[in-house]
């Protein structure tokens, strides 16, 4: 029977992960998505709980007593009674489905607006509905599923065996070692070890005179293969993003100090507002020009000319989005500048600079 204490700890931990996940999403969520985009938020929350829950399964496994072979059934005193093998199988299958299907589909569905807006003219924008977004997201997800399916199929076909290193001890004479015979025709079970005495194991070891290292090949099931491929992919992406983070964190901290808000008097603040307003007007005009460009009839052009025109429009749209992002960032800095010292104090950004220098040194010495 499962241990009641472990069940309580499991439930409380799950509840805490959900509460922390909701807090993180609410705190760091974009204001424009405050009462919108519930599906991506639910997926993010589920991914948060799944990621941290997977890590916390390790101490749960230890507390459940899985390191002791008696927990299989013949000596389960002090064991938690939880079927951790089933737990791990459920978790790894959930990670696989979430990573390769749920998250990509949600991302495609949520970002379909940008894709469709860059592909249709303004007079068709109002016709974009849930059905069109769902169809587009499913098409992209189907392509992802085909690619992932091929990778998993090829990997499992050619890498579905594992080698376990063992030490083979060979005695000079079988009669010199203690023997243990299993019932003929009966499968081996852990319970069969119960009557083996320590003296018998010692006698068998003393009778052995030759040792050799060999590998036992075991064919894996697909469920057993999943942790291996997930760990490989995780290590691959970790090596990439960890390297990026080692560079990005010091740069972001130092850049935050360089672009820090400075205190402005009323005149300086008014002039900065005028400059921000002018940039807004310029971007509005640029956006209207982009809309006119997208509305142009390209049917009379050849294939390569249409493709070239489409690529140019796409590049202009990306640059426009970048300028909008920079404008929003500068506007946020301007809002902070008026009450900078009263809100942050004089040591907030110098502390960021110090942390940036320290993290930069750590990255160089990594």
Helix-strand-coil percent breakdown of the chain, rounded to 5? 75, 5, 20
* Integer Cα distance of 306 and 326 in angstroms: 30
pLDDT digit string, tens, across residues 199-230 = 666 665 555 556 778 888 888 888 888 888 88
Look-up: residue for tokens 């068709």?
124
Answer left, alpha or beta for residue 186, where phi above 0 means left and psi between -120 and 50 means alpha: beta
pLDDT exceeds cutoff 90 at 18 = yes
Q: What is the pLDDT of residues 126-165, one digit of tens each?
A: 444 556 778 888 888 899 999 999 988 998 988 888 888 8
Say how far apart CA 174 and CA 209 lie, in whole Å.
Answer: 12
CA dist 313 and 301 (Å) reads 15
């Amino acid at each position: 029977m499962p241990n009641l204490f472990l069940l309580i700890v499991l439930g409380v931990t799950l509840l805490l992960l959900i509460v922390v996940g909701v807090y993180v999403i609410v705190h760091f969520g974009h204001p424009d998505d405050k009462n919108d985009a519930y599906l991506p938020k639910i997926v993010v929350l589920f991914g948060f709980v799944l990621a941290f829950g997977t890590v916390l399964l390790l101490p749960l496994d230890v507390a459940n007593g899985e390191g002791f072979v008696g927990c299989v059934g013949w000596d389960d005193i002090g064991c938690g009674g939880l079927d951790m093998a089933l737990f791990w199988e459920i978790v790894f299958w959930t990670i696989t489905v979430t990573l390769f299907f749920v998250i990509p589909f949600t991302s495609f569905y949520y970002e379909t607006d940008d894709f469709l807006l860059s592909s249709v003219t303004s007079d068709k924008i109002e016709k974009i509905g849930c059905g069109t977004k769902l169809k587009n997201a499913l098409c992209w997800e189907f392509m992802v599923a085909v690619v992932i399916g091929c990778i998993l199929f090829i990997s499992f076909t050619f890498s579905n065996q594992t080698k376990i290193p063992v030490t083979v001890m060979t005695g000079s004479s079988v009669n010199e070692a203690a023997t243990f015979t299993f019932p003929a025709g009966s499968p081996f079970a852990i319970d069969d070890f119960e009557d083996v005495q320590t003296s018998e194991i010692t006698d068998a070891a003393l009778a052995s005179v030759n040792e050799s290292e060999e590998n036992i090949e075991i064919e894996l099931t697909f469920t057993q293969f999943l942790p291996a491929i997930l760990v490989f992919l995780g290590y691959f992406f970790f090596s990439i993003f960890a390297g990026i983070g080692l560079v990005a964190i010091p740069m972001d901290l130092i850049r935050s100090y360089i672009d820090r808000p400075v205190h402005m008097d009323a005149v300086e603040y008014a002039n900065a507002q005028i400059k921000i307003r002018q940039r807004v007007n310029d971007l509005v005009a640029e956006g209207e020009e982009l809309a006119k460009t997208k509305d142009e009839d390209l049917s009379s052009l050849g294939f390569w000319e249409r493709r070239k025109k489409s690529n140019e429009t796409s590049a202009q749209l990306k640059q426009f989005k970048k300028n909008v992002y920079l404008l929003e960032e500068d506007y946020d800095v301007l809002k902070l500048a008026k009450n900078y010292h009263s809100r942050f104090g004089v040591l907030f950004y110098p502390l960021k600079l110090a942390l940036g220098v320290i993290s930069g040194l750590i990255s160089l010495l990594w």
